[in-house]
Amino acid sequence: MPASRTSFREALARRTLVLDGATGTELERRGVPAPLPLWSAGALITHPHIVEAIHRDYVAAGADIVVANTFRTNLRTLRAAGRAEQGEALNRLAVELARRAVSPSSEDHRLETGATGSQVWIAASVAPVEDCYHPERVPDEPTLQSEHAQMMEWLKAADADLIWIETMNTVREARAAAQAAAAVGLPFAVSFVVQESGDLLSGEALENAVAAVEPFDPLAVGVNCIPPRAVAEVLRRLRRSTARPLLAYAHIGNPEPIRGWTYSQDLPPAEYADCARRWLDEGASIVGGCCGTTPAHIRALAKCVRQVEGTR
């Protein structure tokens, strides 16, 4: 068993881990252009120093897991941008920037919050190959298997600690990504995006999605990119379908509801942390922030986690 998997499981058994917050919307908040198709990945080419600074700010805020900027460095996106030949290099750079940000030489990176963990893990994001909010655009099985296999090969070469499969909107893509990660021996977590009913955006049952990835031994399963006040109910449903550690991170500040929702939320850091306290009550072992969240949100979240753990 890889050391990163063993240590991550051991850490989860001991305490709640804090995931970082958004990268794409944080780049935009800091004035970095993020046009499609590359979106956040474009900053690896044009503003790598800001990508690294964002990672460093999340570690300073108390993150135990930093997600490298690989959300849009998959083969399909790079082909659309005319940069497919840079796939391995860009994924390696994304992981390297995150690694630099959490290195012991990074200036006082955990002193601000006094976070209890001594290790910060570098996760590599794996998104749907086409679009997070359009399950009807998910390609066929052979294409999914081929493109996710390529992404995993790049991420293995980049030497990430673990794989962060996120915003999965169909059962078959979640399964393909999990299978690809397992095939190259990379430890991974899986997070789904659901509609207001609690089912995947595809309309498939959340329980079926969990069952599809379970055979590949995920470190944790969970939900992301939904309004904060909706997360606790989904976690209750997840807990009924799996004994694995649960993870949760919410989307805030969207001007319009994301697909499958009739409302959106924009919460300041303290209110976001109050919502996350309910996630912890529902058994979440990993909590963080999705689109719209900032280092201030993660700082408030880390403080909340320490307070809750101090009462246990």
CATH number assigned to the domain comprising residue 153:
3.20.20.330
Taking residue 23's Cβ as centre, other Cβ atoms within 10 Å add up to 28
Report, as an integer, the average pLDDT of 33-48.
96
Q: Is the pLDDT of residue 244 over 60?
A: yes
Say what the pLDDT of residue 2 is: 54
Taking residue 84's Cβ as centre, other Cβ atoms within 10 Å add up to 13
Please give the tally of structural domains in the chain. 1
Report, as an integer, the average pLDDT of 88-92.
98
Q: Is the dihedral of CA 166, 98, 276, 221 positive or negative?
A: positive
Lowest-confidence region among 102-106, 114-118, 200-204, 256-260: 114-118
Q: Is 192 left (phi over 0), alpha (psi -120 to 50) or beta?
A: beta
Q: Is residue 312 part of a domain?
A: no
Domain of residue 149: give its range. 3-307
Say what the pLDDT of residue 118 is: 66
Q: Is residue 201 part of a domain?
A: yes
Decide the pairing of beta strands 188-192 and 162-168. Answer: parallel
Q: Is residue 182 part of a domain?
A: yes
Q: What is the CA radius of gyration of the chain?
A: 17
Say what the pLDDT of residue 5 is: 61
Phi, psi (deg, nearest 5) at residue 61: -75, -15
Give pairs for 236-240: CB < 8 Å, separation 24+: 236/282, 237/198, 237/206, 237/207, 238/206, 238/210, 239/282, 239/283, 240/207
Report, as an integer, the average pLDDT of 55-77.
98
Q: Is the pLDDT of residue 306 over 80?
A: yes
Say what the pLDDT of residue 309 is: 87
Q: Is residue 125 part of a domain?
A: yes
Grade residue 252 by pLDDT with cuts at 50, 70 and 90.
very high
Per-residue pLDDT of 174-215, as tens digits, reads 999 999 999 999 999 999 999 999 999 999 999 999 999 999
Mention every residue, 6+ apart, whose C-beta is less than 8 A from residue 132: 167, 169, 193, 225
Say what the pLDDT of residue 95 is: 98
Say what the pLDDT of residue 85 is: 97
H/E element holding 90?
helix 87-102
How far, in Å, CA of 284 to CA of 303, rounded?
A: 16
